[in-house]
């Protein structure tokens, strides 16, 4: 072993120590050593550490004296813990502010590893601090988090907008009518995308009620906007004339001008609550389901006619709804569920709806039968398979016509609560919402109070109350007397005489006819019940089964001695319809040549595919022959939407 007293050895050791100090000073990471116990006197600090601190000449000085501000930032606590335990400790992304000679300094974020140096007997003598300035990486991460938060907020706002849009495109309420209970539910395919399904119930001028359901091709804002325009046109024409054919003709003209509305399907059914007559049209839409009271369901025959904007006529068909029967209108999303054949889905839907209508499913006695049909049916079917398209159900049950409320009582104070109780019972029997019942109770109470206090002297005369539901979705309530107005003598500060004004505020309309033989006050108020916008959580469906590969549409040439012929295999839906459109354009040379299309292998023909086929048929000058065997999925859909085709192989 070399003797350190030897000059050469001493020089070499001094050189080695100088090299170590130089290497220590060049380390890119800030490193400092402090002695303990005491005030953590700095015994070593490399260049990177001096740069981080922003000053020189602090070796040999205590940290507490050098930067007392760090005491307030509780940075010495980690040093105390390592000194006491003898175990290393690491801190991550601590926010600190290192004071400079000219000011408080910048805010920094640091990672720091504090490692104890032990003496021969195991006592902590020094601490080494390895510091890393991570301010830039923390800033980048926080910026990314802010961007992610902003994106999430925008997504939430977009989802809110979609929900608001969807709610506003649905009817604000379904009418409460004598002899007909109506309910509707809508389940979007995607909570973040606006859909194209809609439903409506429109009281007609002749006392019937039109049930309307429709489906616009595709999804998104364009589909929703087209749906809103179609719904507005149909509602306006039905409300004005009550003529189904006229209303559909107006919607058809709109669809001819509006590309997004082309090939939309609609079903309109006008129901007479008094006699049960049903007049309907299935314009390319699945036909209504009629569920006999306590029995099974049967699909009404299609009336014929194709989707809107395709040049089709709209013939009408007729049936009858018995007391207790349900008429259910629906969109094809409830039938064409993932993994379910169309014919099987059609049978399942009829069976499930009939079970729910007969109260053979979930026993929710607080719900009316039509409410159960439009909610439980969706839940029971969707929870097994999930759903890939919007689902819309609109149901009406024919009930007995309610008797009007009639009361003729002495105009004494005790009659006021008596009228309120009778009115509450009568409104409850109609299915009136609590909000409307409260408004009408207060309005009628004020009118009856006016009769009691002002119409008669002594002895009191009679007050007559009549309440009746109208076929236009309103109630009409009359409060009449045979007396003459008499001011009630009370102190002026009681501010009497506000009863009529309050009654007018509570109801949609108030008319008072005062004559010498008595006064009749009539209020009218529209009654509605809410339509249901369902969410995935309401029906708790499992996610649709994941597929290893996307379903492809294969289009192959087929040998033919006549016109060129192709065969399609796979789904024709929103994801493949553009492929079909381009293929048909190419095969028909832009619509100038004949073509036979074999749809035997088509597994799913969605509304987007139907729109393309209608478009091709309209634009092709030469014959376009569509062939699908009877009973195949494509044949079922084409027959439903009245798309011309053949079930006989053209060879």
The residue extents of the domains of the chain are: 7-133, 170-398, 405-529, 554-640
Whole-number pLDDT of residue 544: 47
Give the model confidence (pLDDT) of 85-126 as tens digits.
888 988 888 888 877 766 677 788 888 888 888 888 888 888
Map residue 350 onto helix, strand or coil.
helix
- Please list the alpha-helical segments (H only) found in 195-220: none
Helix (H) or strand (E) holding 152: helix 135-169
Whole-number pLDDT of residue 477: 96
Q: Which CATH class is domain 554-640?
A: alpha beta
Q: How many CB atoms lie within 10 A of CB 78?
A: 18
Dist CA 295 CA 324 (whole Å): 10
Dist CA 204 CA 182 (whole Å): 15
Say if residues 399 and 430 touch (Cβ distance below 8 Å).
Answer: no
Q: Measure Cα distances from 196 to 231, 294, 348, 380, 459 in Å.
A: 11, 33, 24, 23, 64
What is the separation of C-alpha 309 from the centre of its chain, rounded to a whole number of angstroms?
Answer: 28
Dist CA 377 CA 333 (whole Å): 13
Q: Measure Cα distances from 335 to 179, 330, 387 in Å.
A: 29, 9, 9
Q: And the tokens for 283?
A: 């314009």
Give the model confidence (pLDDT) of 554-601 as tens digits.
888 888 777 789 999 988 877 788 889 888 888 888 778 888 999 999
According to DSSP, the residues that pair with 201 across neighbouring strands are: 211
Say if residues 446 and 500 touch (Cβ distance below 8 Å).
Answer: yes
The low-confidence residues of the chain, meaning pLDDT below 70, are 1-18, 20, 36-38, 69-72, 101-103, 152, 154-169, 190-195, 219, 485-499, 535-550, 620-621
Dist CA 10 CA 20 (whole Å): 15
Dist CA 120 CA 125 (whole Å): 10
Dist CA 167 CA 190 (whole Å): 14
How many Å is the Cα radius of gyration of the chain?
Answer: 40
Dist CA 396 CA 472 (whole Å): 15
Give the model confidence (pLDDT) of 362-413 as tens digits.
878 778 899 999 999 999 898 888 888 889 999 999 998 899 999 999 999 9
- Please list the alpha-helical segments (H only) found in 489-528: 499-506
Give exposure, 461-484, as e/b (b: 16+ Cβ within 10 Å).
Answer: ebbbbbbbbbbbbbbbbbbbbebe
Helix (H) or strand (E) holding 18: helix 7-26
Whole-number pLDDT of residue 191: 56
- Please list the alpha-helical segments (H only) found in 27-101: 47-53, 63-66, 69-72, 76-85
Query: For the domain 7-133, what is the CATH superfamily, name and number?
Result: PAS domain (3.30.450.20)
Fold of 170-398: Phosphatase 2c; domain 1 (3.60.40)
Give the model confidence (pLDDT) of 243-274 as tens digits.
999 999 999 999 999 998 999 999 999 999 99
Fold of 405-529: Heat Shock Protein 90 (3.30.565)
Q: For residue 227, how many C-alpha atoms fall within 13 Å in the half-sphere facing its CB? A: 28
């Amino acid at each position: 072993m070399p003797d350190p007293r030897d000059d050469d050895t001493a020089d070499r050791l001094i050189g080695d120590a100088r090299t170590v100090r130089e290497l220590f000073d060049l380390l890119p990471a800030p490193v400092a050593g402090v002695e303990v116990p005491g005030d953590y006197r700095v015994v070593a600090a490399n260049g990177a550490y001096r740069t981080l601190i922003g000053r020189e000449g602090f070796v040999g000085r205590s940290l507490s004296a050098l930067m007392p501000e760090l005491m307030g930032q509780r940075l010495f606590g980690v040093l105390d813990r390592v000194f006491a335990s003898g175990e290393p400790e690491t801190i991550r992304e601590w926010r600190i502010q290192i004071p400079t000679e000219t000011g408080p300094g910048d805010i920094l974020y640091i990672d720091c590893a504090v490692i104890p140096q032990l003496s021969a007997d195991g006592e902590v003598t020094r601490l080494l601090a390895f510091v890393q300035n991570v301010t830039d990486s923390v800033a980048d991460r926080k910026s990314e988090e802010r961007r992610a938060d902003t994106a999430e907020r925008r997504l939430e706002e977009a989802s809110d907008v979609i929900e608001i849009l969807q709610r506003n495109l649905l009817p604000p309420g379904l009418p409460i009518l004598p002899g007909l209970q109506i309910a509707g539910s809508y389940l979007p395919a995607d909570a973040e995308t606006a859909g194209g399904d809609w439903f409506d119930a429109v009281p007609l001028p002749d006392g019937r009620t039109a049930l309307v359901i429709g489906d616009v091709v595709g999804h998104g804002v364009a589909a929703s906007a087209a749906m809103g325009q179609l719904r507005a046109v149909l509602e306006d024409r039905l409300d004005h004339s009550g003529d189904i054919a006229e209303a559909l003709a107006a919607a058809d003209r709109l669809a001819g001008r509006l590309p997004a509305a082309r090939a939309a399907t609609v079903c309109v059914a006008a129901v007479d609550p008094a006699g049960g007559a049903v007049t309907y049209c299935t314009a390319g839409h699945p036909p209504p389901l009629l569920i006999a009271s306590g029995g099974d369901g049967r699909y009404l025959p299609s009336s014929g006619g194709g989707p809107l904007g395709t040049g089709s006529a709209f013939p009408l068909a007729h049936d009858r709804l018995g007391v207790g029967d349900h008429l259910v209108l629906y969109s094809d999303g409830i039938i064409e569920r993932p993994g379910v054949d169309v014919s099987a889905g059609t049978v399942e839907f009829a069976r499930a709806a009939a079970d729910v209508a007969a109260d053979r499913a979930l026993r929710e006695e607080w719900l009316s039968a039509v409410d159960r049909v439009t909610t439980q049916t969706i839940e029971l079917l969707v929870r097994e398979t999930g759903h890939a398209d919007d689902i819309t159900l609109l149901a009406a049950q024919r009930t007995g016509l309610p008797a009007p409320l009639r009361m003729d009582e002495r105009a004494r104070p005790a009659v006021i609560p008596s009228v309120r109780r009778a009115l509450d019972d009568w409104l409850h029997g109609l299915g009136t919402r609590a909000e409307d019942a409260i408004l009408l109770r207060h309005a009628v109470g004020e009118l009856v109070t006016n009769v009691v206090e002002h119409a008669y002297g002594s002895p009191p005369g009679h007050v007559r109350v009549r309440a009746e539901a109208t076929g236009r979705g309103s109630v009409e309530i009359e409060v009449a007397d045979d007396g003459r107005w008499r001011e009630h003598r009370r102190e002026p500060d009681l501010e009497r005489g506000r009863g009529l004004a309050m009654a007018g505020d509570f109801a949609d309309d108030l008319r008072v006819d005062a004559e010498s033989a008595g006064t009749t006050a009539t209020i009218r108020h529209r009654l509605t019940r809410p339509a249901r916008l369902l969410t995935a959580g309401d029906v708790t469906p499992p996610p649709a089964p994941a597929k290893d590969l996307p379903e492809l549409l294969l289009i192959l040439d087929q040998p033919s001695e006549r016109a060129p012929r192709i065969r399609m295999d796979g789904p024709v839906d929103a994801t493949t319809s553009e492929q079909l459109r381009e293929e048909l354009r190419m095969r028909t040379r832009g619509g100038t040549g004949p073509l036979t299309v074999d749809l035997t292998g088509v597994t799913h023909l969605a509304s987007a595919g139907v729109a393309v086929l209608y478009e091709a048929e309209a634009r092709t000058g030469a014959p376009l022959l569509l062939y699908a065997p009877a009973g195949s999925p494509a044949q079922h859909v084409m027959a439903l939407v009245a798309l011309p085709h053949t079930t006989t192989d053209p060879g």
